[in-house]
Amino acid sequence: MTGKNRKRRSFGNTQIDKAPTGIQGLDDITHGGLPAGRPTLVSGGPGAGKTLFGVSFLVEGAQRFHEPGVLLTFEENAEDLAQDVRSLGYDLDKLCAERKLLVDYIHVDRSEIEETGEYDLEGLFVRLDHAINQIGAKRVMLDTIETLFGGLQDTGVLRAELRRLFRWLRDRKMTTIVTAERGEQLFTRQGLEEYITDAVISLDHRVHEQISTRRIRIVKYRGSTHGTNEYPFLIDRDGITVLPVTSLLLEHEAPDERVSSGLPALDAMLGGKGFYRASTVLMSGTPGTGKTTMSAHFVNAACARGEKCLYFLFEESPQQMIRNMASAGIDLKPWVDKGLLVFHAERPNRHGLETHLLEVHHACEANEPDIVVMDPITNLMAVGTQIDVRAMLTRVIDYLKTRGITAMFTSLTTPSQSIEQTEAMISSLMDTWILVAVDTIDRKRTRNLYVLKSRGMPHSDEVRPFRFTPHGIELLPGAGTARPAKRPARSAAGRRR
Amino acid sequence: MTPAAAPEKYALRLYVAGQTPKAARAFANLRTICEEHLAGRYSIEVIDLIENPALGRGDQILALPTLVRKLPTPIKKIIGDLSNTERVLVGLDLRPRPRRAVA
């Protein structure tokens, strides 16, 4: 499978010429971009992001690939358009002034046009040709040309002329994006897919249980292999980002370097050295067992070494977290002030899972952390089904490992649930699994910790009681004291894999 | 403005692209119609977009040939080779629309 996949990739280089879109992720799933010098049809319902998709293609082309572009819009007027895309960081006016972009607005109003006798759309050709020549364009976007069907009565002429237009664009070797409204049965209302056969991309915006997700699919790409799945994409202040699936190849580096858990006693349980760098750690337990405090120790130690930490909070605000940890004896504020610790707090149900995933990507790219903590990942379960959450976590973990980031995830288990039940689906993704539990012994609650698994290292089988001190968590000797070791061992036995 | 006084001047502009048969037909048809209905009070400006492609933008030219009535306002557009005289007259407001009244 791996070999086959590679082979296909290398074929990708010898395929037809491609024009990179510069849209993050899209060039990965198309193995290089859109077919160069040919038209691509982008279809989608209202609000699917077609216009923005095309504008991104033009702007990126002009800014990064030295390919000026012509935007022929039949929809909005140029001022509205410039306004719309400015919120995404695109300055169309500036690009126009630099002659890297030319926006032409074609307005067709059936009510003010009388048709009498034969005509053709040569005027459109002349204008487009003129625009292309003015700036030496290599890219063209037609948005949305189907509007013409509302403006002209003679659809026979229109269809013939559109066919001629796409042929003409191909002859001129223009990499073109043609946007179209999705039809009921066809990809486009007017069946434009009949004329544009090189590549068809479908954009979709759906809302499921009040959470919206945008998806993109390469329906067709003549002469090229491409990813066939539906991929989530995001439109935000950084423009469009398409999220390729997990790279299916398991090829991450596996460094021998170790990273301290922040608790020397816990490090001792993990072969004496702590976690592996770029590994994933699951910290699970019932409420109030100190999972977040454990993470805080981990982060605190990393910052003290001068490493950068990114902490995703799905339940608390950063202020609340800092205050609580200060009262537990861990002072995180200096790290925040120094910029070594960055919090990213968000309610899980604010977005769909894909958006969360993209947020992780964006935040990691912006901060380049050594350590990432997600606390608690169980809150994400509220956003999607278990399968979805697992898929999303697989992607996150894959991404973090590829970047060499060591990750800690906390997971909340409800006291009544068996731990396996809650976490069977995610635990297999984890390299190290630490469990914290509370047992009531002699009418006193005792917190215990044990390492359920830790791949690639000898680890302790002990169940270690621990307590909160004014200086954070302190692990107590486990083996020596018979009672705590025995009682939790019983509860652990029932949960063992 | 005194409506009944001087008859309105018609400023017409015909957009074409090169010397195509369609363009020639449109021009001939237009001349005939103007001579018959607007004698002495019209002007025709022919714009060849092949020579002046930039001019197509102002009047939002798409289809060719396109006849634009610049004056009197409002601007009117008629596309095609102007072979249907009735429709040209309607388009130029020289005749009421068929559904409203019969001439």
CB contact under 8 A, A114 and B65: no
The residue-averaged pLDDT of A309-326 equals 92
Q: Which of B53, B74, B81 sits opposite A117 (nearest CB)?
A: B81
Position A416 confidence tier, pLDDT thresholds 50, 70, 90: low
Place of tokens 């894909």: A354
What is the average per-residue pLDDT within A32-43? 93
Residue B69 lies in a domain: yes
Query: Shortest CA distance to A19 belongs to which of A124, A140, A189, A127?
Result: A140
What is the pLDDT confidence band of residue A493, given thresholds at 50, 70 and 90? very low
Chain A contact set for B29 (CB, 8 A): 117
The interface predicted TM-score of the complex, written ipTM, equals 0.86
CATH number of domain containing B79: 3.40.30.10
B20 is in which domain, residue-wise?
Answer: 10-91
In this predicted structure, what is the pLDDT of residue A495? 46
User: What integer pLDDT is reported at residue A250 of this predicted model?
Assistant: 61
Specify the range with the lowest mean pLDDT, choosing from A187-196, A303-312, B41-50. A187-196
Q: Where is average pLDDT lowest: A42-56, A127-141, A429-443? A: A429-443
List the single range of A51-60, A149-158, A237-246, B9-18 with lowest mean pLDDT. Answer: A237-246
SS (H, E, C) A420-479: HHHHHHHHCCCCEEEEEEEEEECCEEEEEEEEEEECCCCCCCCEEEEEEECCEEEECCCC
pLDDT of res. A7 = 38
Name the more confident of B47 and B101. Answer: B47
Does the bond joining B65 to the residue before it have cis omega, within 30 degrees of 0? Answer: yes
- At residue B93, does pLDDT exceed 70? yes
Classify residue B60: in a domain, yes or no: yes
| Least trusted range by pLDDT, from A6-10, A124-128, B31-35, B87-91 | A6-10
pLDDT tens digit sequence for B32-49: 999 998 888 999 999 999
Residue A497: what pLDDT?
43
Confidence of residue A492 (pLDDT cuts 50, 70, 90): very low
Q: What percent of chain B has pLDDT over 90?
A: 38
- Average pLDDT (A315-334) is 92
| Residue numbers in A near B62 (CB within 8 A) | 106, 108, 121, 123-124, 127, 148
Residue B4 domain flag: no
Residue B81 is assigned to a structural domain of this protein:
yes
Which pTM value belongs to this model?
0.68
Quick one: residue B40, left, alpha or beta (phi over 0 = left, psi -120 to 50 = alpha)?
A: left
Closest chain A residue by Cα to residue B61: A123
| A87-91, A111-115, A211-215, A369-373: least confidently modelled range | A211-215
Number of domains into which chain B is organized: 1
Q: DSSP for A168-184?
A: HHHHTT-EEEEEEE--S
The CA distance from B37 to the nearest CA of chain A, in Å, is 18
pLDDT digits (tens, 9 = 90+) for A271-308: 889 999 999 999 988 888 889 999 999 999 999 999 99
User: What's residue A325's pLDDT?
Assistant: 93
Q: Residue A148's closest chain B neighbor by CA? A: B62
Is B63 a residue whose pLDDT tops 80?
yes
Q: Could you tell me which chain A residue has the CA closest to the CA of B57?
A: A127
Residue A468 has pLDDT above 50, yes or no: yes
Q: How far apart are CA A457 and CA A475, in angstroms?
A: 20
Residues of A with CB under 8 A from a CB of B: 104, 106-108, 112-127, 129-130, 148, 152
Mean pLDDT of A361-375: 90
Measured between alpha carbons, how far is A191 from A482 in angstroms, rounded to an integer? Answer: 77
Most confident of A8-12, A15-19, B29-33: B29-33
Cα A234–chain centre separation = 7
Per DSSP bridges, beta strands B76-79 and A230-236 are unpaired
Task: Categorize the per-residue pLDDT at A486 as very low, low, confident or very high, splitting at 50, 70 and 90.
Answer: very low
Q: Chain B: give the shortest CA distance to residue A135, in Å.
A: 13
Three-state SS at A114: strand
Per the model's pLDDT, the better-predicted residue between A309 and A28 turns out to be A309
The residues of B whose Cβ lies within 8 A of any Cβ of A are 15, 17, 22, 25-26, 29, 49-50, 53-54, 56-57, 60-66, 74-84, 87-88, 90-91
Number of Cβ within 10 Å of residue A346's Cβ equals: 14
* B77 closest CB neighbour out of A112, A126, A130: A112
Q: Given this model, what pLDDT does residue A247 score?
A: 52
A408 to chain B, minimum CA–CA distance in Å?
60
Contact list, A120 vs chain B (CB under 8 Å): 22, 63-64
Domains (range + CATH), chain A? 15-242 (3.40.50.300), 258-492 (3.40.50.300)
The answer to whether residues A118 and B80 touch, using CB atoms and an 8 Å cutoff, is yes
pLDDT at position A87, please? 75
A113 and B64: CB-CB below 8 Å?
no
User: Which helix (H) or strand (E) covers residue A69, if one does?
Assistant: strand A69-73
Q: Smallest CA–CA separation between B74 and chain A, in Å?
A: 10
pLDDT band at A63 (very low <50, low <70, confident <90, very high): very high
* Residue B97 belongs to a domain: no
Chain B residues with CB under 8 Å of A114 CB are: 76-79, 87-88, 90-91
Domain for residue B21, yes or no?
A: yes
Residue B87 maps to a domain:
yes
Residue B63 lies in a domain: yes
From the list A116, A121, A148, the residue facing B80 with the nearest CB is A116
Percentage of residues in chain A having pLDDT higher than 70: 86
Q: What average pLDDT does range B20-38 have in this prediction?
A: 92
Identity of the amino acid at A157: V
User: Which range has the worst mean pLDDT, A118-132, A171-185, A316-330, A387-401?
Assistant: A387-401
**Residue pairs spanning A and B at CB distance below 8 A:** 97
Asked whether the predicted pLDDT for residue B74 surpasses 80, the reply is: yes
* Section A310-315 average pLDDT: 91
Higher pLDDT, A477 or A209: A477
Query: pLDDT band for position A423 (50/70/90)?
Result: low
